[in-house]
Each structure stands twice: as structure tokens, then as C-alpha cells.
Amino acid sequence: PGGVSVRIVYPGSSDWFKKIVTMYRIIVSLLFVFGLYGGVSAQSLASFKERLSQPAGSAAVTVVEHGDAAGVVSRESQSNDRIRFKGYRIGIFFDNGAEARANALAAKQTFETAFPDIPVYLVYENPYFKVSAGNCVTSEEAIVLLGKIRSQFPEAYLMREDLTVADLIR
């Protein structure tokens, strides 16, 4: 059957780095095992594979696509937005005041400028505007991201959120 193999070469013996790499391996494996990569166009799949092969550290990652993996991905196109699971995001704004909408838009734009590689979401849940960022599967990953974001947004906070498989691929 089709799938993607990921070979990772560790540059050193950093436990933190190994945990991050292991987490990505688990995520990729789970997504393929359960056939959850549906809804990914060829362009977004290529983008995902490119991001996967360029880790933040100095590890070397080789992504090898097997057989009909792209076909399986495109056949499962409807399932990404329906399947939800609990994950984490970082809250950077939450308000319902008179200027809440304008302030939420400003917070989102400031975040996008400071952290262009991290997805950011502006949501209106009556009566609140909230801005959150990231798509973290584990609390450990979210805590690392929170530390990074607090350099620009000192009042940022961790929040539990429903995520979809499509969120992870973006």
C-alpha cells in the first residue's frame, strides 16, 4: 500500500530534539494509518512534504513517497474537515468590548508580521472576538510555542481547542 517513509538523522544526542522528531513521526504515521490525509490537493501535499523535509534543527530528513500515496490522498478528500480531535492553540487576544473587532484584527496582523510561519485564527464566538495561533497536538509542543510567542505577546495563554487534520497540514 501507498505511504510516506521518513528517515531522520540526528545531529547529536539532544533529548528535546529527539522528542520533537518522534512526535512528528507519530503524527505522520497516525495520519497515514487512519487514512486521514484526505482533502489535500497535490499542491498542499507537496507543500507539506517540503515543510516536513526542512526541520528547524540541523537534522537531515528524507521523504520518500511510495506507490500510489498521492492517489490515496486525493481519494480521501472529504474527511479532513470532519474529523476533529483535541489539541492546543495559543490564545493571544480575547475581548468583547466596543473596540474588540478592531483590536482583534490588529492583534492578528501584528502576530502574522512577527510569526509568519505560524497559522493564526480570528474567530467571533458571540459575544467575544478571539485570536489564537498554532496547531499543537501535544501540550509539550504547545508549551514550547507559548514560550516563543510570549516574547511578543506577554499575556498569551495556552488553550485547549478542537483541531482537524486539515489544520495540521496547513
Report the C-alpha gap between 144 and 88 in whole angstroms: 12
Q: Are residues 7 and 61 in the same domain?
A: yes
Total domains in the chain come to: 2
What φ, ψ does residue 120 adopt, rounded to 5°?
Answer: -130, 145
- pLDDT tens for residues 59-79? 666 667 776 766 666 666 555
Both 88 and 29 in a single domain? no
What's the pTM value of the predicted model, to 2 decimals? Answer: 0.55
Let me know whether 24 and 67 are in one domain. yes
Which pLDDT tens digit goes with each residue over 2-60?
Answer: 556 555 555 554 566 666 666 776 776 666 555 544 444 455 666 666 666 666 666 66
In terms of domains, do 58 and 28 share one? Answer: yes
pLDDT for the residue 133: 97
Question: Do residues 68 and 104 share a domain?
Answer: no
- Cβ contact 104:129 at 8 Å: yes
Strands 3-9 and 60-66: antiparallel
Looking at the structure, tell me whether residues 91 and 135 fall in a common domain.
yes
**Distance between CA atoms of residues 65 and 75, nearest Å:** 16
Q: Which domain holds residue 19?
A: 3-75
Q: 67 and 8 in one domain?
A: yes
Examine the fold and report which residue of 75, 92, 125 is the final residue of a domain before the chain moves on: 75
CATH code, 126: 3.30.70.1070
Average pLDDT value for residue range 150-154: 94
Which residue, 46, 75, 104, sits at the end of a domain? 75
